[in-house]
Amino acid sequence: MSTKTATRTVTEQTGARTDEAAALIGDARERIDALDDRIIGLIQERMAVSAVIQEARISSGGRRVNLAREMEVLGHYRDALGKPGTALAMTMLELCRGRI
């Protein structure tokens, strides 16, 4: 495959109109993929810490979920990211509930 054909393919894959823009988009997408991997790792770490908290709460006679704490988390995400932050926090909380 020639360089021009390979470049055209990259340009088509990115939706860019120039080779320079295609290269920039390709590099940025690689960075996003790396960030996504880190975010997934952090969520998995959060899930593990949440399981420790839930286990301690349940073994001490408490409930699995602390709704007041979940409301704090929702507020924190909403304040930082706006309305979509609330949906993101809800999904994260759902991932972290009931793993024990």
The per-residue pLDDT for range 9-27, each reduced to its tens digit, is: 667 788 888 889 999 999 9
Percent of the chain with pLDDT over 70: 86
**Mean of pLDDT values over 36-53:** 96
Res 15: pLDDT: 87
Q: What gap in Å lies between CA 11 and CA 23, rounded to an integer?
A: 8
Give residue 34's pLDDT band: very low, low, confident or very high (50, 70, 90).
very high
**What's at 58, amino acid-wise?**
I
pLDDT of residue 2 exceeding 60: no
How high is the pLDDT of residue 43? 97
Per-residue pLDDT averaged across 24-48, rounded? Answer: 97
